[in-house]
């Protein structure tokens, strides 16, 4: 993919995005003016030391928060102009989330966990079909009725990926999705990202500390102290 692939028709873009937090009279500048653009089927890895603003960036991309200054636009709409309710609905239609710790509900089976985000939709038949199809595609067609504690770590993460896709999102946001998995299992997760990017055009943005995940991405965003830095500079700072 061309390095500037995200320049044309991005799903979401940010211009000079600043995010500040104020706690106890202290101002923390978590993002100091970053630009980003995520195009359909992009695969972007966000790397950087602890405290550099990775989660803050993911929260903005996931419409969980709005910038202090600068614009975040989702298909042209400034997210700061949306009400909380509009933002919640837009998030549900647009964004899927995957986390390091899976966050499956222990009392629900695999297929019920995948159905969770659609529970209030009152379309149980279609929801069951979509959930079953997704679990088959992640290789768990024979584990539909298993509970999370009957599944391996890699299987749990595959259930979580199926769940993240149940509402046909445009972007999948993943925070350390391979952090609790061995290399082979992590590779399987990367294969799934590739499949869903190709088959559903879903973009993947992942925070990662795993070099093999960053190597597999189309682009790497290096965050240092709230700013995007070139890769070599980031590597130099990271080693001090
Ligand atoms: P990373 O995910 O790269 O570790 P974060 O985005 O979580 O970094 O944090 C960036 C900076 O913003 C840190 O200095 C952190 O302490 C601060 N920060 C993050 N969230 C909050 C918050 N809700 N309130 C105050 N400070 C925060
Ligand atoms: Mg973080």
Query: How do residues 130-172 score in pLDDT, each as one tens digit?
Result: 999 999 999 999 999 999 999 999 999 999 999 999 999 999 9
59 found inside a domain: no
- Per residue in 16-59, pLDDT (tens digit) is 999 999 999 999 999 999 999 999 999 999 999 999 999 999 99
Which CATH number goes with the domain that contains 211?
3.40.50.300
Q: Over the Cα atoms of the chain, what is R_g?
A: 18
Residue 3 above 60 pLDDT?
Answer: no
Give the strand pairing for 227-229 and 219-224.
antiparallel
Structure-token pair, residue 131: 């959930």
Instruction: Measure the CA–CA gap between 224 and 100, rounded to whole angstroms.
Output: 22
7 found inside a domain: no
pLDDT of amino acid 233 = 59
Instruction: Measure the CA–CA gap between 57 and 236, rounded to whole angstroms.
Output: 22
214 found inside a domain: yes
- Give the domain extent around 167: 39-50+91-239
Q: Residue 203 region, left (φ>0) first, then alpha (ψ -120 to 50), else beta? A: beta
107 found inside a domain: yes
Q: How confident is the model at residue 234 (pLDDT cuts 50, 70, 90)?
A: low
Residues 6 or more apart in contact with residue 215 via CB below 8 angstroms: none
| Average pLDDT of the residues in 87-115 | 96
Mutate which of 18, 31, 53 for ligand 1? The one with the most ligand atoms within 8 Å of its CB, which is: 53
In total, how many domains does the chain have?
A: 1
150 found inside a domain: yes
Residues 6 or more apart in contact with residue 122 via CB below 8 angstroms: none
Question: Can you tell me which atom of ligand 1 is nearest the CA of 19?
Answer: 12
117 found inside a domain: yes
Question: Can you tell me which atom of ligand 1 is nearest the CA of 48?
Answer: 3
Bigger pLDDT: 81 vs 4: 81
61 found inside a domain: no
Instruction: Measure the CA–CA gap between 54 and 160, rounded to whole angstroms.
Output: 21
Question: Can you tell me which atom of ligand 1 is nearest the CA of 207?
Answer: 2
pLDDT of amino acid 4 = 46
15 found inside a domain: no
Ligand 1 midpoint to CA 170 (Å) = 26
| Average pLDDT of the residues in 210-223 | 96
Q: What is the chain's mean pLDDT, rounded?
A: 92
């Amino acid at each position: 993919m061309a390095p500037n692939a995200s320049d044309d028709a991005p799903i979401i873009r940010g211009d000079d995005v600043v995010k500040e937090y104020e706690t106890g009279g202290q101002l923390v500048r978590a993002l100091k003016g970053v630009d980003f653009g995520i195009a359909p089927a992009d695969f972007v890895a966000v790397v950087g030391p602890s405290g550099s603003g990775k989660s803050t960036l993911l929260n903005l991309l996931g419409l969980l928060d709005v910038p202090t200054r600068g614009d975040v636009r989702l298909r042209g709409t400034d997210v700061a102009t949306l009400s909380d309710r509009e933002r919640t609905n837009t998030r549900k239609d647009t964004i899927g989330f995957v986390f390091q710790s899976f966050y499956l509900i222990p009392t629900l089976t695999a297929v019920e966990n995948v159905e969770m985000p659609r529970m209030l939709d009152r379309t149980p038949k279609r929801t069951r079909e979509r959930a079953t199809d997704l679990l088959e595609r992640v290789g768990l067609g024979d584990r539909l009725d298993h509970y999370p504690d009957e599944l391996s770590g890699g299987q749990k993460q595959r259930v979580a990926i199926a769940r993240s896709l149940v509402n046909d999102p445009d972007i999948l946001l993943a925070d350390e999705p391979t952090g609790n998995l061995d290399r082979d299992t992590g590779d399987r997760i990367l294969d799934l990202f590739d499949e869903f990017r190709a088959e559903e055009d879903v973009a993947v943005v992942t925070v990662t500390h795993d070099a093999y995940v960053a190597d597999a991405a189309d682009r790497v965003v290096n965050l240092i102290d709230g700013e995007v830095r070139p890769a070599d500079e980031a590597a130099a700072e990271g080693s001090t």
